Amino acid sequence: MIRCSYCNFRTDPGQDPWLTLAEAKSILQQLQSQNVCEILILSGEVHPHSPRRSAWLQRIYDLCALAIEMGFLPHTNVGPLSFEEMRKLKNVNVSMGLMLEQLTPQLLNTVHRHAPSKIPEVRLQQLKWAGELQIPFTTGLLLGIGETENDWWETLAAISDLHQRYQHIQEVIMQPHSPGSQQSFDASPFDPHQLPEVIAKARQILPRDITIQIPPNLIQDQEWLLACIAAGARDLGGISPKDEVNPDYPHLQEQALREILQLGGWELVPRLPVYPQFASWLSDQLLCDRISIS
């Protein structure tokens, strides 16, 4: 069976019906009064040659368009896409993303043996196409899935090289592997005490205009969360009731994060899913819908 062995939100075809536009509208209506700006459009993958692929992409497009209509800013991360699929979704997204994870091909023999979309060249191609299409992009590394330290630096260097060519990477996520209840991958969690050192090295490799993001719900010790920030992380991702990618690890909510950050002399500041310097990259369709980025 084709699947990512550490994925905790995947379902088999037919087991979980696609979200309808009516269901999405009901959810979005509940969020309109809750100071929410970003809607993450997340999906498991549909095979590129599946007869359902076209309908799947159209549903993603329609969900993004609905979010815009209701006053939200969509950010889509649905796995590898073709160039034309990315071009289409650019019209209804202020930014997009895909984790590079690790570039080493060795993982195709272990943790990624049943996940052909994890081929490093496929994921690297997404970052290149995003640059060519001028799509503000988020990517990142997954730490602790069988790679080496040198693999980290190689992957970060590849991200740096592409960004220096296209200037399109907004954030790089440093995500520690955190075992979940649905995954088949049997490995220990990544030691969060290693993260500050990894982040400090990443800060040296990546251009200064790329922000390093860490997921605070995967760093259980507030002392080490503050150490990660001191080492160079400046983004804590989104805040929502549930982490869809890591559902076993609830997000820390705003007040809890504020209190932790105050201990280290830091302040929690909101941001949009697209940085202001990328406003000119927004599609004509988004601009016509009077999306304001300031």
pLDDT per position in the chain (294 positions), as tens? 456 665 656 666 667 789 999 999 999 999 999 889 999 999 988 899 999 999 999 999 999 999 999 999 999 999 999 999 999 999 999 999 999 999 999 999 988 888 889 999 999 999 999 999 999 999 999 999 999 999 999 999 999 999 999 999 999 999 999 877 665 666 788 988 899 999 999 999 999 999 999 999 999 889 999 999 999 999 999 888 777 777 787 888 899 999 999 999 999 999 999 999 999 999 877 876 545 444
Q: Please indicate, yes or no, if residue 277 is contained in any of the structural domains.
A: yes
Q: Please indicate, yes or no, if residue 6 is contained in any of the structural domains.
A: no
- If asked whether residues 139 and 221 sit together in one domain, one would say yes
pLDDT at 16: 72
- If asked whether residues 217 and 131 sit together in one domain, one would say yes
- If asked whether residues 292 and 228 sit together in one domain, one would say no
- If asked whether residues 67 and 117 sit together in one domain, one would say no
Q: Please indicate, yes or no, if residue 132 is contained in any of the structural domains.
A: yes
Q: What is the CATH number of the domain that holds 182?
A: 3.20.20.70
Q: Which amino acid is at 48?
A: P
Q: Nearest 5°: phi and psi at 150?
A: -60, -30
pLDDT at 44: 85
Q: Please indicate, yes or no, if residue 109 is contained in any of the structural domains.
A: yes
pLDDT at 284: 79
How would you write the chain as a 3-class SS string? Answer: CCCCCCCCCCCCCCCCCCCCHHHHHHHHHHHCCCCCCEEEEECCCCCCCCCCHHHHHHHHHHHHHHHHHCCCEEEEECCCCCHHHHHHHHCCCCEEECCCECCCHHHHHCCCCCCHHHCHHHHHHHHHHHHHCCCCEEEEEEECCCCCHHHHHHHHHHHHHHHHHHCCEEEEEEEECCCCCCCCCCCCCCCHHHHHHHHHHHHHHCCCCCEEECCHHHCCCHHHHHHHHHHCCCECCCCCCCCCCCCCCCCCCHHHHHHHHHHCCCCCCCCCCCCHHHHHHCCHHHHHCCCCCC
- If asked whether residues 214 and 150 sit together in one domain, one would say yes
pLDDT at 94: 97
Instruction: Give one word for 2, left, alpha or beta, with left for phi > 0 and alpha for psi -120 to 50.
Output: beta
Closest by CA position to 135, among listed 285, 287, 281, 294: 281
pLDDT at 294: 43
- If asked whether residues 81 and 110 sit together in one domain, one would say no
Q: Please indicate, yes or no, if residue 54 is contained in any of the structural domains.
A: yes
Cα distance from N-terminal residue to C-terminal residue, the chain: 46
- If asked whether residues 43 and 151 sit together in one domain, one would say no
- If asked whether residues 32 and 124 sit together in one domain, one would say no
CA distances from 7 to 3, 25, 47 (A): 8, 27, 16
CA distances from 165 to 132, 145, 215 (A): 10, 29, 27
- If asked whether residues 86 and 100 sit together in one domain, one would say no
Name 175's bridge partners: 142
pLDDT at 251: 83
- If asked whether residues 55 and 86 sit together in one domain, one would say yes
What is the total count of domains within the chain? 2
- Parallel, antiparallel, or unpaired for β 169-176 and 95-97? unpaired
Q: Please indicate, yes or no, if residue 31 is contained in any of the structural domains.
A: yes
- If asked whether residues 101 and 246 sit together in one domain, one would say yes
Enter the pTM of the model: 0.93
Q: Please indicate, yes or no, if residue 5 is contained in any of the structural domains.
A: no
- If asked whether residues 74 and 103 sit together in one domain, one would say no
Q: Please indicate, yes or no, if residue 170 is contained in any of the structural domains.
A: yes
Residues 6+ apart with CB under 8 A from 22: none
Q: Which amino acid is at 272?
A: L
pLDDT at 293: 47
Closest by CA position to 155, among listed 114, 201, 197: 201
pLDDT at 236: 94
pLDDT at 9: 64
Which residue range is the domain that position 248 belongs to? 96-268
